[in-house]
Amino acid sequence: MNYPVWDVPILGSAWVIGIIAIFHVMISHFAVGGGFYLPMAERKALRDGSGEWLTAIRAHSKFFLVLTTSFGAVSGVGIWFAIGLASPESTSTLIHNFVFGWAMEWCFFLVEISTALVYYYTWGRVSDRLHLRLGWIYAGTSWCTLVIINGILTFMLTPGSAWLAVAGTGQEASRFWSAFFNPTYWPSLVLRTLVCLALAGVWALITASRINGFEHPRLKTEWISWSARWLVPAFLLMPLALVWYLASVPESSRHLMQAGISTIGSGVFTQITRAALVTVMTSATILAVVYFLAIRNPRDFGFGHGVAVLVLALCATGATEHAREMIRKPYTIGQHMYSNGVRRSDVARLNEVGYAASSPWRDSQMETGEMMFRGQCMNCHTVDGYRSMRKLLEGHDREAIARIVNLLHQAPADSPYRNFMPPVVGTPAEVNALVGYLDRTVNGTKAGPSAPESLTKKYSRASPALGLPMTAAANQPDR
């Protein structure tokens, strides 16, 4: 606990990151996909000699410029601000390991933004050939930012054996390229590139839907039909890329997904299962809306239809990103750093010398139990909001709470929590202080069942609420 804990009531710090990130992904991936859309659309208009198309594309490039350079850039800064507060240890590790990677990304980003501005403001002021080249320069540099960021994002799930072998030795930077081109790098890059192309079509439908179909019937028909077809590669190739990606993730992550899917019949819908279902259903709905309204009846495709497709795409993006985060549990950096900022290699040491021993806040007025709770629980839980500790521990007295906390502390191989929750670290006295804090502050002093049977029942009730499968809950319905 080297940093103060960012306490976000009700919502929790993780969802602050999640909300910002979901909107940022929608914009940043559009910035990449739209970078290819604009020069390809311009080339088509020049080849066909269509002045109407060029006018419409210029209007779309203005919308593209404003959205990506304002909201996209601001939300990117917002993510940095949020992750630095919510997970400072993980952020520090990423910065130290990928500082030159981010420097390269910023170089491409500066060229990308500059080229986007030049591209828009030189419409009609330079030759068509030069203007088209500017568009392709933007497309290339924009995709290069994705190439670099993808390596850092996938590292968090699969840092790779070469990097893990030197983690904690101070030699991590020597394995930069091994960490960058990690096991899930290439399938993730293909998946994200397909998403970028699909979102280019989705956002273009917003602009195209505002064209008056009575005044410009041919333009609207052609542009909507052409934009809708940008979704085709994603729908055809993403299932194959997804299979490739899932084959590359760790076995523990596949186990979480397989367990959630296998228990659907018994009514247990884990968060990963729910996220996967949302992604599938919204994607299928997008396909139906785009086919029946945009491709078959482009002149009748209105602004409301475009917004509906965009909202569905937002839901699919949010669900997919949520699932991607969930399969990384209990780590923020796979096999290295737990979601509470504790390094896996430090667990034994902290259990011996104490969790508070490494905290600069050990001499503050904060009691040990609260320090343990804030440092090891609040990254994922709140008191009364998202993943409420009060609800999870409702009806349990101190003895029952002690059983749960000690199970997390000992983390045996058959623990139902082991696959998705980090171990509670600290000396026996610190663990006992956490039990007392939970009983007194979070759960109050209300008496509750303490028999082992009640604890088993609570496991089955708590696991779906936590959003992940537990062996004791395999045959229990979600409530």
Count of CB atoms situated within 10 Å of the CB of 359: 17
pTM of the model: 0.88
In total, how many domains does the chain have? 2
**401 and 272 together in one domain:** no
In a domain, 343, yes or no: no
Domain of residue 441 covers: 349-473
Peptide bond into 39 cis (omega under 30): no
Q: How far apart are CA 419 and CA 338, in angstroms?
A: 11
pLDDT computed for residue 356 by the predictor: 85
Give strand pairing partners of 331: 338
String of DSSP letters for 87-153: -HHHHHHHHHHHHHHHHHHHHHHHHHHHHHHHHHHTTTTS-HHHHHHHHHHHHHHHHHHHHHHHHHH
Closest CA to 84 of 4, 180, 181: 4
Q: Is 275 a domain residue?
A: yes
**Same domain (yes/no): 189, 261:** yes
Q: What's the distance, Cα to Cα, between the start and end of the chain in Å?
A: 34
Q: Which residue has the tokens 């629980």?
A: 377
- The answer to whether 185 and 154 have CB atoms below 8 angstroms apart is yes
Domain boundary among 298, 315, 338: 338
- Cα separation of 361 and 59, whole Å? 55
CA dist 120 and 475 (Å) reads: 58
Q: Residues 265, 380: one domain?
A: no
Q: Report yes or no on 86 lying in a domain.
A: yes
Alpha-carbon span 445 to 368, nearest angstrom: 19
Do 311 and 398 belong to one domain? no
Digit-by-digit pLDDT tens for the chain (479 residues) are 467 788 999 999 999 999 999 999 999 999 999 999 999 999 999 999 999 999 999 999 999 999 999 998 899 999 999 999 999 999 999 999 999 999 999 999 999 999 999 999 999 999 999 999 999 999 999 999 999 999 999 999 999 999 999 998 989 989 999 999 999 999 999 999 999 999 999 999 999 999 999 999 999 999 999 999 999 999 999 999 999 999 999 888 877 776 655 454 444 457 777 888 899 999 999 999 999 999 999 999 999 999 999 999 999 999 999 888 888 989 999 999 999 999 999 999 999 999 988 776 665 667 889 899 999 999 899 998 988 999 889 888 899 999 999 999 999 988 888 888 999 999 999 999 999 999 988 776 543 433 333 333 333 333 333 333 333 333 333 32
Q: What is the CA radius of gyration of the chain?
A: 25
pLDDT at 269: 52
Given this model, what pLDDT does residue 15 score? 92
Helix, strand, coil % over all residues of the chain, rounded to 5: 70, 0, 25
Please tell me whether residue 395 adopts helix, strand or coil conformation: coil
Angle of CA points 201, 275, 18, to nearest 5°: 75
Q: Which helix (H) or strand (E) holds 396?
A: none
Are 310 and 420 found together in one domain? no
Question: Does residue 5 lie within any of the structural domains?
Answer: no
Indicate if 290 and 238 belong to the same structural domain. yes
Domain boundary among 338, 365, 397: 338
Shared domain for 418 and 294, answered yes or no, is: no
In the numeric block, which tokens belong to residue 122?
């030189």
Segment (H or E) for 180: helix 176-180
Establish if 403 belongs to a structural domain. yes
Q: Are residues 326 and 194 in the same domain?
A: yes
User: Does residue 150 lie in a domain region?
Assistant: yes
The crossing angle, in degrees rounded to 10, of helices 13-48 and 217-228 is: 130
Is 109 within a domain?
yes
Query: DSSP letters along 416-473, please?
Result: TTTTTSPPP-S-HHHHHHHHHHIIIIISTT-----SHHHHHHHHHHHHHHHTS--GGG
**Cβ(54)–Cβ(45) below 8 Å:** yes
> Rounded to whole angstroms, what are the CA distances from 440 to 7, 173, 235, 356, 445?
19, 45, 52, 20, 6
DSSP run (H or E) holding 333: strand 331-333
Residue with tokens 């990254």, as numbered in its chain: 379
The CA-based diameter of the chain, rounded to the nearest angstrom, is 81
Phi, psi (degrees; rounded to nearest 5) at 331: -110, 155
C-alpha 415/C-alpha 432 separation (Å) is 20
**What tokens were used for 311?**
């909202």
Let me know if residue 478 belongs to a domain.
no
The last residue of a domain, from among 280, 305, 338: 338
